[in-house]
């Protein structure tokens, strides 16, 4: 740490010859902005919704950030620069513990939470700017080492995202998503009493990918299986839904198109699809075309084998040769390793969108946003069995991924801990006997 601080300090700390205006800005940011930040939160609390909700999210993030920073001071004390002031450059450690910087941690929690929660982005950007200035000023004035502030930034981001995840903000002037209505692809098309397979596709702005995907599903399942395709259009702004309907009509595929009034995310889209699906087995597949529908028959064959031993199971695809960038593969390798250690779900690649779960098993699972990342662990929780089938993986034809390293990491950590808690709190009773007396009341 000392080596990094020694390299960064001369670049960040103001020199004695720094312009007086810049010195004044640093002093105001360090001494006055924290007070202004708390006053602004107090003002937001008095403005009514949705600003009151924004203020509470900011206060929660700031409080959590302060507690974590205070705890680290006690658990791992690291001193601040010995001599405080401009031109500190590099000095030996002093005696006052300050890792991470509480000013920077709380100030950036204020900024990040404000950016995420404020109904108006311009206001959120001002909150973030204030937080950044507070953090910058601590090193500029020689009060903290650079790593004190960088560590505080990481803690602040985690707290702001956690609060945002646990208490999502819904704009007051927007309507909740309407209950999706199934739209048949052909008025003359009737569903048989029992379908074996429902293929569930969550999609947002996947025009150009959905058409070829439906064609490949039809070719893979053809006349060998009684199946349907259920597409949830999760707030697309292109012609994803129209492309799906057209391909279903052309191929004679039984289909349902369900439209969300606004985007709700992949897990909610899959939950909507599962709610309306009619098949015995639910096969999930990504709408970007990277999963190969030719692998679905292998999943069905494994499902038929497993169903003889019990009703609850999950069959997860395993992408042997991923066709993604090295950066994306590295993210997944780290995430899968952490998940296996925490959840022990027996799946090497839970990020693969191709999975099969019996419909009655899905109906027993708890719903929460981002649950699709943890389907094998959730099935294990109800004493279900897990099987892994190697599958093909292809590059995306068109469009862009909806996920980034930022929205994968923090949300994944929070949800993973929640799933672990659910697993630890689950019990699987074994009935020793069952007795029934009397007749049912008419």
Q: Which domains does the chain have, with CATH numbers?
A: 2-166 (1.20.144.10), 195-395 (3.90.550.10)
pLDDT at 403: 55
- What is the dihedral sign for C-alpha 60, 64, 66, 67? positive
Residue 285 · residue 201 · CB < 8 Å? yes
Question: How high is the pLDDT of residue 362?
Answer: 95
Least confident range from 7-11, 222-226, 243-247, 351-355: namely: 7-11
Lowest mean pLDDT among 13-22, 162-171, 344-353: 162-171
User: Looking at the whole model, is its pTM more than 0.85?
Assistant: no
Mean pLDDT of 329-337: 70
Picking from 41, 109, 111, the residue whose alpha carbon sits closest to that of residue 69 is: 109
| Contact (CB, 8 A) for 80 and 148 | yes
Q: How far is residue 231's CA from residue 402's CA, in Å, rounded to a whole number?
A: 17
10 class by beta-carbon count within 10 Å (0-12 exposed, 13-18 middle, 19+ buried): exposed
Tokens of 268: 């909610």
pLDDT band (50, 70, 90) for residue 177: very low
> At 89, is the pLDDT very low, low, confident or very high (cuts 50, 70, 90)?
very low
**175: confidence class by pLDDT, cuts 50, 70, 90:** very low
């Amino acid at each position: 740490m000392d080596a990094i601080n020694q390299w960064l300090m001369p670049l960040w700390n103001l020199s004695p010859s720094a312009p007086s205006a810049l010195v004044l800005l640093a002093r105001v940011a360090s001494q006055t902005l924290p007070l202004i930040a708390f006053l602004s939160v107090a003002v937001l609390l008095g403005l009514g919704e949705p600003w009151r909700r924004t203020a509470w999210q900011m206060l929660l993030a700031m409080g959590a950030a302060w507690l974590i920073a205070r705890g680290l001071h006690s658990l791992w004390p690291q001193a601040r620069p010995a001599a405080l002031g401009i031109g500190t450059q590099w000095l030996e450690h002093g005696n006052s513990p300050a890792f991470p910087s509480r000013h920077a941690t709380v100030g950036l929690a204020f900024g990040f939470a404000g950016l995420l929660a404020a109904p108006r982005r311009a206001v959120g950007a001002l909150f973030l700017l204030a937080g950044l200035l507070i953090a910058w000023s601590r090193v500029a004035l020689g009060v903290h080492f650079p790593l004190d502030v960088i560590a505080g930034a990481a803690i602040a981001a985690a707290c702001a995202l956690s609060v945002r995840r646990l208490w999502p903000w819904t704009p007051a002037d927007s309507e909740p998503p309407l209950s999706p209505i199934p739209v048949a692809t052909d008025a003359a098309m009737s569903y048989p009493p029992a379908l074996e397979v429902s293929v569930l596709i969550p999609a947002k702005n996947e025009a150009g990918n959905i058409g070829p995907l439906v064609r490949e599903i039809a070719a893979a399942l053809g006349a060998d299986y009684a199946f349907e395709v259920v597409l949830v259009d999760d707030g697309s702004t292109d012609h994803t839904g129209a492309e799906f309907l057209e391909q279903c009509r052309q191929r004679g595929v039984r289909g349902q198109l369900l439209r969300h009034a606004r985007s709700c995310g992949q897990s909610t889209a899959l939950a909507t699809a599962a709610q309306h699906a009619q098949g015995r087995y639910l096969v999930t597949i990504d709408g970007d075309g990277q999963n190969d529908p030719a692998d679905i028959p292998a999943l069905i064959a494994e499902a038929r084998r497993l169903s003889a031993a019990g009703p609850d199971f999950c069959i997860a695809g395993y992408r042997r040769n991923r066709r993604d960038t090295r950066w994306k593969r590295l993210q997944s390798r780290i995430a899968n390793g952490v998940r296996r250690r925490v959840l022990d779900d027996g799946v090497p690649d839970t990020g693969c969108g191709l999975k099969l779960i019996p419909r009655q098993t899905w109906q027993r699972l708890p719903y929460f946003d981002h649950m699709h990342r943890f389907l094998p662990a959730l099935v294990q929780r109800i004493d279900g069995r897990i099987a892994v089938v190697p599958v093909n993986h292809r590059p995306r034809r068109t469009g862009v991924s909806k996920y980034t390293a930022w929205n994968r990491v923090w949300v994944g950590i929070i949800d993973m801990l929640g799933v672990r808690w659910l697993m630890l709190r689950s019990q699987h009773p074994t009935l020793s006997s069952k007795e029934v007396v009397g007749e049912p009341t008419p």
